[in-house]
Amino acid sequence: MEKKAVRVAYGEALCKLGEKNEKVVVLDADLAAATMTNAFKKQFPQRHYDCGIAEADMVDIAAGMSTMGLIPFCSTFAVFAGRCYDQIRNGVCYPHFNVKFGFSHAGITLGEDGGSHQAIEDIALMRVLPGMTVFVPSDANECYQCVEAAARIEGPVFIRTARLPSPVYDPLPFEVGKGNVLKDGKDAVLFTCGILKEHAIEAVDILSGQGLDVALVSFHTIKPFDDLLARQYAAKCKHVFTLEEHSVIGGLGDTVASAVIGQGVETFHKIGIQDVFGQSGKPADLLKEYGLTGPQIAENIKNHL
């Protein structure tokens, strides 16, 4: 299966968007080669602004540019969402300016750079901001869709992307705020987001082989969240599991929990980063270390049923 890093798709999507919409400008903070905005820079040198290693300034500059009718896409590492949080909050979200954030290298699969650079809290930070749309694309095709959608939304949008190449699945119908049912099931449901989709599919397959019919639902939009779909599957399956490359506090798991409360759920278990920071290592080793590989997820689910 073809593999492509979601961040690469982000860079490609920006180029495509740039061709169609001349209002789109791209801002970076000396990471164009990593966030993949360098392709846009090459194609549209006059529409790419490097703000230097000054993420907070980048965000407020984008805020100001948006007031001139432009659609700025700010790009940096997801871990710096915290660094420029006040600017995202007060500079962009409070006035509801039309600024987009394509923040890459999210989660532990960033790998060798280590825990200082592995964002495990960015979804939590972003989803609590009024008016913010939060996308976590699960593969390259979904990232194209998220970038396109971001440009259509009037207001702030956060797109979380990953560094690690991951399988590219056939595109599914995309609607902002709607989850996708990847597999129906009745014994339990696994909700996921982002590039762990690959491991979620493997886990559900393993459980299938063991006679457990587990539904799998993927969400590219964490906010606004598809409460209805989550409720429907929680009510039907009763045993609910969530999987994310993010802290189990404040991310997808808590988003699902808020949605499904009162649905007669018997089991609720959040699989993700268990309130710890990451560390250096190869992405595959890190996934194993934090229990996020297909077989580990399958075992985890089975143990809770």
Positions that interact with another protein (CB under 8 A): 25, 46-47, 49, 51-52, 54, 56-57, 60-70, 86-87, 90-91, 94-96
Nearer residue to another protein within complex by CB, 80 or 191: 80
Shortest separation between residue 104's beta carbon and another protein, angstroms: 21
Cis peptide before 224 (omega within 30 of 0): yes
End-to-end CA distance of the chain: 32
Catalytic residue of the set 55, 121, 198, 244: 55
Place of tokens 């995309």: 174
* Residues 179, 191: Cα–Cα separation, whole Å: 9
Nearer to another protein, 47 or 238 (CB): 47
- Closer to another protein by CB, 126 or 237: give it: 126
CB atoms within 10 A of CB 78: 30
3-state secondary structure of 287: helix
Minimum gap (Å) between residue 78 Cβ and another protein: 20
CB of 68 to another protein, least distance (A): 3
Nearer to another protein, 97 or 135 (CB): 97
Angle between helices 227-237 and 252-260 (to 10 degrees): 70
CB of 44 to another protein, least distance (A): 11
**Active site (annotated) includes residue 55:** yes
Q: From CA 276, how far away is CA 269, in angstroms rounded? A: 17
Annotated catalytic residues are 55
